[in-house]
């Protein structure tokens, strides 16, 4: 077994935070989502493809802040553009700044479904806005969803504090299960305002799935048949799978789509884009406003990020890195003959453990991720990772080698 990391400062801050913040940490960043006692709890700084925790341990950051870091941490070109805006113009005003139009023009040029756009701050803002638009446009109530769409009342999995009436009209189907969706539409089709689906399947703690042939096309056909709005939730796939979204990669254009995460390399912005005919409800009968939605720093960051992604052909580079990493890890899995699967290539690498009757996987998984974090590779046991542009070939080779060492170490438990 490798040596346990020194995490005293993280642990101390966690104890302090328990008094200050309910649960100490919010949501998916809580220790039980990793391996408690083995993973750091606070990060102090980050640069490029690396992060440093509160105790000074440095890791290859393969979680990338759960997706926003597409190029790398502290990208000077992006940060400098933001600093210039802050210093030269300001960013929080009673009226909207002109950069809004520039960013909208850019998205409309790049994304097949985008005829118009609106900008919000988070992915949850964007998914909820898209649902409100769909309900207003169709005058229907029900929503059929597939995937994680954020923390708002209509879709969050943990129902504490939410009256049932706020989510009773949301139904769920599984990714790649067209038949399941067909059955739901047979029962409820006439009342369905929207089908919202992530174009890549990434259910928590399960393998990442790419669309089966005909799946996305079939979802589109069902939505059209019943007069429902088709929404692609591209919060994870947008500006990662393709500059035009997974919709462009897979050749299926939805009515609306939502973006966030990688769009601004870590700055908080979300976007809803879609057909003008549908988006126009925002001009007529849907109210969308927030004190901070028009703040321009994130818009500057998004435009600069997109400029760099295009200029340096970054998504192609990430794809290449991702396939190379996948080939290496798949070979390792074969050689070590461990009951694990690798999915998500090339964009969202994930090592999952095959569920066995004796439930050995429940021991193997934390043991594996313990070995890996001790070797300074930061991946999440229940969530796929990401590849960033600043991960060097050396970083990814190191990560693959550590995956091998960790698998061989836990093999001793079998």
Ligand X SMILES: Cc1ncc(COP(=O)(O)O)c(C=O)c1O
What is the contact surface with ligand X in residues (CB under 6 A)?
66, 122-124, 127, 147-150, 198, 233, 235-236, 260
Q: How far is the CB of 147 from ligand X (least distance, A)?
A: 5
Distance CA 111, CA 127 (A): 17
CA–centroid distance for 250 within its chain? 18
Rounded to 10°, the helix 393-411/314-336 angle is 20
Of the pair 7, 301, the CB lying nearest ligand X is at 301
CB of 131 to ligand X, least distance (A): 12
Two tokens, residue 239: 């500006």
> Closest separation between CB of residue 240 and ligand X, Å?
11
Residue nearest to ligand X (CB): 123
Report the nearest approach of ligand X to the CB of residue 151 (Å): 6
Minimum separation from the CB atom of position 224 to ligand X (A): 23
Residue 165 Cβ vs ligand X, minimum distance, rounded to whole Å: 23
Alpha helices (runs of H) in 189-235, residue ranges in sequence order: 215-226
Tokens of 155: 């879709």
CA 127 vs CA 13, 110, 350: distances in Å: 34, 20, 25
Task: Give the nearest distance from C-beta 130 to ligand X in angstroms.
Answer: 10
Query: What 3-state DSSP class applies to 399?
Result: helix
| Other beta carbons within 10 Å of 138 | 19
Residue among 257 and 370 whose Cβ is closer to ligand X? 257
Helices 297-311 and 99-110 pack at an angle, to 10 degrees, of 40
Q: Quick one: 150 or 218, whose CB is closer to ligand X?
A: 150
Whole-angstrom Cα distance, residue 385 to residue 125? 23
* Beta carbons of 286 and 280 less than 8 angstroms apart: no
Structure tokens at 326: 């996948």
Provide the 10 A C-beta neighbour count for residue 87.
Answer: 8
Residue (148 or 215) nearer to ligand X, CB? 148
For residues 236 and 391, which CB has a smaller minimum distance to ligand X in the complex?
236
Neighbours of 79 (CB within 10 A): 16
Task: Give the residue with the Cβ less far from ligand X, 170 or 370.
Answer: 170
Considering the complex, state which of residue 218 and residue 260 has its C-beta at the smaller distance from ligand X.
260
Cβ–Cβ under 8 Å, residues 387 and 321? yes
Max Cα–Cα distance, the chain, nearest Å: 65
Q: Which is nearer to ligand X, 135 or 236 (CB)?
A: 236
- Least Å from the CB of residue 238 to ligand X: 9
Shortest distance (Å) from residue 200 CB to ligand X:
9
The smaller minimum CB distance to ligand X, of residues 236 and 374, is found at: 236
Given phi > 0 = left and psi -120 to 50 = alpha, else beta, which region is 48?
Answer: left
Burial class, 208, CB count within 10 angstroms (exposed 0-12 / middle 13-18 / buried 19+): buried
């Amino acid at each position: 077994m490798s040596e346990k990391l020194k995490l005293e400062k993280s642990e101390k801050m966690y104890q302090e935070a328990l008094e200050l913040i309910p649960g100490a940490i919010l949501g998916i960043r809580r220790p039980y989502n990793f391996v408690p006692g083995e993973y750091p709890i606070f990060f102090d700084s980050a640069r490029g493809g690396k992060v440093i925790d509160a105790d000074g341990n440095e890791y290859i950051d393969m979680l990338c802040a759960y997706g926003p870091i597409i190029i790398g941490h502290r990208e000077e070109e992006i940060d400098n553009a933001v600093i210039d805006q802050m210093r030269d113009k300001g960013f929080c005003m009673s009226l909207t700044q002109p950069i809004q139009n520039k960013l909208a023009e850019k998205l409309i040029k790049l994304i097949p479904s985008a005829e118009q756009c609106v900008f919000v701050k988070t992915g949850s803002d964007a998914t909820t806005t898209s649902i409100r638009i769909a309900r207003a446009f169709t005058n229907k109530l029900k929503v059929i969803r597939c995937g994680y769409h954020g923390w708002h009342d209509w879709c969050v999995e943990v129902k504490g504090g939410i009256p049932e009436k706020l989510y009773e009209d949301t139904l769920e189907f599984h990714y790649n299960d067209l038949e399941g969706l067909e059955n739901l539409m047979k029962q409820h089709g006439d009342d369905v305002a929207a089908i919202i689906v992530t174009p890549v399947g990434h259910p928590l703690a399960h393998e990442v799935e790419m669309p089966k042939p005909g799946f996305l096309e079939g979802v589109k056909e069902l939505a059209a048949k019943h007069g429902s709005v088709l929404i692609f939730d591209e919060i994870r796939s947008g500006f990662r799978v393709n500059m035009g979204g997974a919709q462009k990669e897979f050749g299926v254009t939805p009515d609306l789509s939502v973006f966030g995460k990688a769009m601004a390399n870590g700055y908080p912005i979300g976007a809803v884009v879609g057909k003008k005919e549908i988006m126009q409800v925002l001009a007529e009968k849907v109210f969308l406003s927030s004190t901070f939605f028009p703040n321009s720093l994130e818009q500057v960051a998004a435009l600069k990020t997109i400029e760099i992604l295009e200029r340096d052909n970054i998504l192609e580079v990430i794809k290449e890195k991702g396939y190379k990493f996948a080939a290496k890890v798949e070979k390792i899995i074969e050689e070590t003959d461990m009951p694990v699967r690798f999915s998500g290539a090339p964009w969202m690498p994930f090592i999952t453990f095959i569920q066995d009757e004796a439930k050995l996987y429940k021991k193997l998984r934390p043991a594996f991720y313990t070995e890996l974090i001790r070797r300074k590779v930061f991946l999440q046991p229940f969530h796929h990772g990401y590849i960033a542009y600043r991960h060097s070939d050396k970083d990814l080779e190191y990560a693959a080698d550590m995956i091998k060492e960790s698998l061989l170490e836990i093999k001793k438990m079998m």
